[in-house]
Every structure is written in structure tokens, then in C-alpha cells.
Structure 1
Amino acid sequence: MKKLLLSSIIFLFSTLFGGMSMAELKTIANSFNAPTGIAFDSAGAMYVTNWSSDSIVKINANGKKETVYSNISSPAGIVIDAQDNIYVASYGDDYILKISANGETKKISDGYHTPTGIAFSKSGKLLITNRSTGEIVSLDLNNGKKEIIVKGLSTPVGVTELPDNSLVVSQYSGRLTLIDPNGNKTELGSSFTRPGVGIVTISPSVVAVIDNGANMVREIDVKTKKVNTLVSSLSGAVALALHNNHYYIGTWGDGSVHKFNKN
């Protein structure tokens, strides 16, 4: 009888609160094949890496979809600079692709080891997670010089930089790690099941992170280690972006991109 009562309570809680989380979501695009990275250009167009289709898809303001690049093996992380140049990590072929604002494409750097999530540093360099070697690589886009700036991680898949130059790295092994400018590491991931590719800086001490293993987006204060669940009941959440005060989430389970208000 006690087990039955407990099961009923858990079901009711999940229905009410899980439903509330899902009610905040709006599906804005679907028919993707493992959406892994999301980024926006200066005109507000959204770009999504279609991992299993080896392509990059653009969705403009009126919802029109077009494939802007194909035949890139397992595209993962994607970022766009102020000049609307697009940078994408090829997880399958270990290189970084640049798509210039004029449409010209070029492999600008190679020799990586399953590069996954990427992000810009404050100095404008590209930060790249080398998943299989447990490294963060910094790429100078002006001269092509690479530098390994962090070692000893376990399956790093996402990275973001805080205003004080610290890094927060999501690792598919279940770890979330803060790395200060001196290289000291603090583990933050005790509340996470399997942090995914999507990770973004929200404030000087707060980041939002995909918890792929729990099908959630979570927010953590790196100083207090306090964790809040922003949205749950996602179907294989992987990608995460923040644009114009809205979160955008790519989910593998249903091949969709969802949106919800940051506040």
C-alpha cells in the first residue's frame, strides 16, 4: 500500500511539474536529424548543425529552412562572429570549417580529436573541446595558431568563458568543471547526470547547461554551486543557445528545436 501511495505521489508530481516545464516550451522547428549546435547571425537567422545528416541548416525570421552546407562529417559546435562568419566543428573529420559571410567555405584548422562544442573567448579566439583527448584548444583565427590550454578532462563536449576569464566545461562523463585563469579546477557536476554540448554564460557567475542524461536544462551558480532546473521533460536535449532573452534547445529524441523565455 505504501509503495502504491508513493508511486501515485511521484506520478502526480511528475505530471504537474513536468507538464509545467513543457508548457513553457514552444517548438519552433522540426525535422532535424540530431540537432547538436545552435547559433544566430546579426539578422536573427538561426543556424543548426544537423549531426546525423552531415549538414548545416539555416532558418530565417519567417521560418524558411535551407541547407547552407552539406558533406561535413558530424557537425557539432557552431558559433558566428560579429561579421557573420560561421565556424563549425567537424566531429567526424577533426577540423574546423569557416563559412564566410559571402558564402565562401574553407577548412581553416585541422588535426583535432573529435572536436565537439566550440565557443569564442573574450579575446576573440576559438575555444574547442577535444572530446577524445580531454583537452580544450585555443585557436587564434588571425594566424591559425593552436594552443592546448586545458588538459586532463574526461570527454569534454561544451565550453563557455566567464567574464573573469575562467572556463566552465561540460563533460559527457558526468562532470562539470570550473577552471580558473591559473588552471585550478573545481568540480561542479554532482547534481548533473550527463552534461551535454550546450552550455552558455548567463551572468558573471552563472551558466546554463544541458543535462543530457536527465533531459533537462539546468542553471548553476559556480560560486555557490546552487543548481536550478529551468526546463525538464526534454527528449534527448543536446544543443543550447541564448538569443534575445530566449533559450533555444535542440533535442535529438524528436529532432526539434524548442524555445522558451529566459525569465
Structure 2
Amino acid sequence: MMTDGQFGAPAREFDFFISYSPADERWAAWIAWTLEEAGYRTVVQAWDFVPGTNFIDFMDRGVSESLAVIAVLSRHYERSTYGRMEWQAALRASPESPERRLLTVRVDEIPIEGLLATITYVDLVGVADTDAARSLLLNRVGQAVDGHARPGRRPGYPGSATAPVRHPEQPNPARPQPSALAGPGWAGRRRPARAPLYPQAAAVGADRAQDAVTVLHLAGPDFGRGREPDSLSRQIRGDLIMLRDAGAPVPDLMVVTGDLTASGSPRECDQALSFLTALRSQLDLSPSG
């Protein structure tokens, strides 16, 4: 586990909080597994957000108590309300050196704009080989933690035609070694028993055809009959986690049927609107459908 280092942060419980859209969970899982194999400790929603956990508190602790936030950049992440909150919080935590507090990994062929464009990202778009992707990720993350990109071997003399050439993505031998903390199953986790497959980056300009739509059906929240938004939100999050563990895909559409409120009072209507808006944002669903 990382302690101090160039980030200037004290020893922490974990190293990296993975910020991502639910649609990119395969990428987040692969990144987290790869980093933990190398000896880092990560926090990732897919493994650490278990039933009974408060989502906002989980997000706040993950951002504030980690050494750095790793944002998985994609077209889904661009419109993620909670993703934006997470990377902006990471930037505010270290305004003098934002690249030290926020690391970005691009997994989708999208332009990086705004404040995120000021940070050099790890680009996995078009990297199809698993070993090359792993080497690239660990090398760049290690450089960010160290605060420099000093090679592991002495550079050859440029004036010599026989000077040895080191591949730029050769892993730094000084990287931390796997520890007990990086292994599966510390308290409260849902870390899978097997390593996630490396998600192949889509070809540049390729169309992404969708041949199925996954619908989340929410029947009659009926606020006002003793049901509170926070309790229902925790229940739904727990159900979604169990469905995901069973192999169900991420919802593309949310359909609400039945009574939203018991009496239609302004308070109940406000509860229903706030609840549905928050749930839609957590699932990264577009309000326009």
C-alpha cells in the first residue's frame, strides 16, 4: 500500500478511488484488479458499495480519503453527474498540482475538453493487447505517483549508434509489490474471484450497434405511506448489485409505473421527483430517454 510520496499526502487506508460510469464497469474492474495485482489498494463501486452503504457518503470518503482519484473517461462518463462531482472534488483537493490528485484513463474515442484537457491522460483507446495495456497503465500510474518519469535504466549515450533503446512503456521496477491488502476478500468487498477480462477498446470511428435494451422497472414508489426515499434507494441499490453479480447488464432505460405518491401532496411530489432524479443520475440515464 502507498504511503507518502510525491503526492505529499499522509499514509491512507487505500490508494486509488476509481471514478466511472456504471456503463464502464468492466473497464473500472479491470483497472482496479490490475492496480491491486501491482500492490496498490483501490476502492471501486462495483466491489465496495454493498447493501446498507450510503452512496453519497461512500463517494465522499472515496474521493477524500484516497491518495488519488482515477477517472475512467468515456462518452458515458461525460454525462455522468456523479462522475463530474468526483473528478471536480479531486481537482479542488489539490489545486496547485491537479495532475497529482486526479489521474485520467481514456477508454473511448472522445475529445477531452475543459479542465480535464489540462491533465495528461493514459490512453487505452486502440490498445488491444492485454499485456501492453497493463504495462502502459502501471507505468503511467507509477510515474504520476513518483512525480516524474525517470527510466529504470541509465539512458544510452545519444552519440553512439549502438546505444541501447528502452521501450517507453517498460514497467518501472520500483513499483510496489503485491501485499496481503491487495488480495481478495477484505471486509465488505465484492471483489470477483477471477481476474476481469481486458475490455477491448473500440475501433476509432466504429459504430456501436445496440441490439437489446435493458429496462429497470420500478413499480409504485407510493411515497407518503411510510416509505422514505433513502430507504428505497438503499434497497434498489442492493438489488442492482445482486443483479449485476448474477451477470445482468447495466440498465439502459428506467420505467416507473403505478402510484408515485399516496395523496399527491407537494411534499410527496418533491420526494418522488428528488428520488427519481437521483436514481437516474446514479444510473447515468439520459432524462430524454
Q: Which structure shows the higher helix fraction?
A: 2
TM range (shorter): under 0.3
TM-score where L is the length of structure 1? 0.27
TM-score where L is the length of structure 2? 0.26
Q: Which has the higher contact order (CA 8 A, sep 6+)?
A: 2
| Bigger-Rg structure (1/2) | 2
